[in-house]
């Protein structure tokens, strides 16, 4: 497995055409799902290979768009004032429990609906709120649903709605933004982080006047932590100049002016964020010219619809180029969920395991879902790793996640090996198939691969391999498979995708 951090991918945005050198095979299917989702079980690969790459990309994105939204708990749409009448208690302790419920629901989305979960998670790291700042579970759950609802939809509509989302109104202080005392936090981040990029196409005067245009969303409709509504008395009704356009602008005007006057800049910024997250963290001017700018032009031409540009990117020769593979470091939740998905093992009841997943990813690895460290989200990629976290990452997968599956059914480890190797009785073939199922290919160094094969064979006397009498029916096979899985997740190569 080769790893590159240089922008040496010169393949175009045109559709990937399978070839002898780069066939449409299980490795490319896994590459697609490792980036666009959180891995793929071996049993699902045959369906992908029965279709063309383009048809399959259409299928999985269309399927994700057609999913029903996550069901809301009964308390999620309610104002606190209405809790009691609906059988709920509103207290600090109950709110803390409900906040965790929102986090558990988000993590379950990653596990159950990989493609939609991936896009929802991607937007969470761009259009950020922090649950510990606004501190109300109902706001958190509705924010999660907003990310999910708009993950493949229209970006302009998404930006319009999210700015009026209560989690955002409270997190970036729009709730405190009133005539005569404007708060610039949301106006600044709207441009700097959500649509244009830092210092790109706006001035300090644009921020000041945008903040004035966004005043007025300061009134609780039904008591504290209820819906937030517009109060005309707190709106600045004087003329403002935004991007050289002058008028008595309000909220809707800001969004319209932004997307009319800065369309190309918005599209290029968002397409570059998509590229960094899904293709490679390394972007240079050649990549911008070759991929990002043409993708951005399509984004504008399609009225800022997100799904079409995703389909173009994930169908492209550029995405399936060898230089686009093994260049992104997995986030903690990526690591955990992809391992669970790719093995296809039964890890038991999510309600039993969810607290462990959330706590480990947040406490040990600093990926606390719905509560990123800053308004800029997680830096990601290389920031996820140091000499200590690699050890802890492997330890958690081995001691906790893998153990859940072992306790459910040890025989499923044998069945996993039978499935991925077509029940081979050649230990090297079986080991290679397991490597590929988890890592897409054998490790970068042959030494790592050779050690892995030795680990897989270590519980069986060598003569059984020499005379070809060993099979996956051996009593030791379940432990052999577990040994190799433990070895693979401990490799540095396993941290990348």
- And the tokens for 497? 């995708």
Q: Which of 123, 120, 280 is closest to 193 using CA atoms?
A: 123
Q: How many alpha carbons lie under 13 Å from residue 376 in its C-beta half-sphere?
A: 5
96 is written with which tokens?
């803390």
Q: How far apart are CA 327 and CA 329, in angstroms?
A: 7
CA distance 280 to 5: 8
User: Are 222 and 82 spatial neighbours (Cβ–Cβ below 8 Å)?
Assistant: yes
Question: Is the Cα torsion angle 397, 400, 401, 405 positive or negative in sign?
Answer: positive
Give the span between the Cα atoms of 66 and 164, in whole angstroms.
25
Contact 191, 164 (CB under 8 A): no
The SS3 call for residue 179 is: coil
Query: Quick one: angle between helices 26-36 and 427-439, nearest 10?
Result: 30
Per-residue pLDDT tens digits for 154-204: 999 999 999 999 999 999 999 999 999 999 999 999 999 999 999 999 999
Helix 306-314 × helix 293-301 angle, to 10° = 140
Cβ(129)–Cβ(168) below 8 Å: yes
User: CA 392, CA 235: separation in Å to the nearest integer?
Assistant: 51
DSSP secondary structure of 253-293? HHHHHHHHHSHHHHHHHHHHHHHHHHT-S---HHHIIIIIH
> Which pLDDT does position 4 carry in this prediction?
42
First to last CA, the chain: 10
Q: Is 437:343 a contact under the CB 8 Å cutoff?
A: yes
Backbone torsions φ then ψ of 215, nearest 5 degrees: -65, 160
H or E element that contains 496: none
What 8-state DSSP symbol labels residue 425?
S
CA angle (347 as vertex; 33, 74 as ends), nearest 5: 85
The residue count of the chain comes to 497
Question: In Å, what is the CA distance from 176 to each residue of 42, 205, 220?
Answer: 52, 20, 12
Residue indicated by tokens 């045959």: 46
Residue 406 sits at the vertex; the CA angle it makes with 438 and 462, to the nearest 5 degrees, is: 70
């933004």: which residue's tokens?
Answer: 177
Assess contact for 251 and 163: CB atoms under 8 A. yes
Pairing of strands 228-229, 245-247: unpaired
Residue labelled with tokens 């007025």: 216
For tokens 């490319």, what's the residue?
Answer: 28
Q: Tell me, what's the pLDDT at 135? A: 98
Q: What is the C-alpha to C-alpha distance for residues 299 and 271, in angstroms, rounded to an integer? A: 8
| Residue ranges for the chain with pLDDT beneath 70 | 1-7, 443-444
Give the count of alpha carbons within 13 A of 223, CB side only.
7
Give residue 120's pLDDT. Answer: 98
pLDDT tens per residue, range 228-280:
999 999 999 999 999 999 999 999 999 999 999 999 999 999 999 999 999 99
């Amino acid at each position: 497995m080769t790893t590159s951090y240089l922008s040496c991918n010169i393949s175009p945005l045109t559709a990937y055409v399978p070839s002898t050198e780069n066939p449409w095979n299980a490795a490319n299917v896994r590459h697609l799902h490792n980036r666009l989702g959180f891995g793929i079980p071996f049993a699902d690969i045959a369906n992908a290979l029965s279709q063309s790459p383009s048809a399959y990309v259409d299928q999985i994105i269309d399927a994700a768009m057609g999913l029903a939204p996550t069901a809301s708990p009964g308390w999620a749409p309610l104002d606190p004032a209405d809790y009691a009448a609906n059988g709920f208690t509103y207290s600090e302790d109950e709110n803390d429990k409900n906040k965790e419920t929102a986090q558990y629901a988000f993590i379950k989305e990653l596990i159950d609906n990989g493609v939609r979960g991936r896009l929802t998670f991607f937007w969470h790291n761009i259009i950020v709120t922090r649950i510990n700042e606004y501190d109300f579970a109902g706001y958190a759950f509705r924010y999660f649903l907003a990310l999910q609802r708009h993950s493949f939809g229209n970006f302009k509509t998404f930006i319009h709605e999210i700015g009026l989302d209560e989690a955002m109104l409270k997190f970036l202080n729009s709730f405190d933004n009133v005539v005569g005392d404007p708060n610039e936090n949301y106006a600044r981040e709207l441009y700097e982080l959500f649509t244009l990029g830092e210092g790109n196409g706006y001035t300090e005067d644009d921020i000041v006047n945008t903040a004035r245009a966004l005043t007025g969303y300061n009134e609780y409709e039904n008591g504290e932590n209820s819906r937030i509504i517009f109060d005309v008395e707190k709106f600045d009704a004087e003329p403002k100049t935004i991007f050289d356009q002058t008028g008595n602008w309000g909220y809707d005007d800001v969004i319209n002016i932004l997307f009319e006057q800065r369309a190309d800049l918005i599209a290029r910024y968002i397409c570059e964020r998509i590229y960094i997250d899904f293709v490679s963290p390394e972007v240079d001017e050649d990549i911008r010219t070759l991929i990002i700018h043409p993708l951005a032009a399509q984004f504008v031409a399609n009225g800022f619809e997100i799904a079409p540009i995703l389909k173009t990117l994930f169908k492209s020769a550029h995405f399936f180029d060898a230089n686009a593979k093994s260049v992104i470091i997995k986030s903690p939740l990526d690591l955990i969920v992809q391992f669970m998905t790719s093995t296809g093992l039964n890890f038991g009841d999510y309600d039993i395991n969810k607290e462990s997943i959330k706590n480990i990813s947040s406490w040990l690895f600093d990926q606390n879902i719905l509560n990123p460290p800053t308004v800029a989200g997680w830096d990601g990629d290389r920031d996820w790793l140091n000499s200590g976290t690699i050890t802890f990452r492997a330890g958690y997968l081995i001691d906790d996640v893998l153990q859940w599956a072992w306790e459910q059914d040890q025989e499923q480890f044998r069945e996993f090996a039978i499935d991925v190797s077509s029940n081979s009785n050649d230990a090297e073939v079986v080991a290679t198939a397991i490597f590929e199922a988890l890592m897409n290919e054998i490790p970068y160094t042959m030494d790592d691969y050779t050690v892995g094969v030795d680990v897989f064979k270590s519980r069986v006397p060598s003569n059984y391999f020499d005379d070809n009498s060993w099979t996956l029916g051996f009593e030791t096979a379940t432990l052999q498979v577990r040994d190799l899985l433990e070895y693979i997740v401990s490799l540095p190569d396993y941290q990348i995708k």
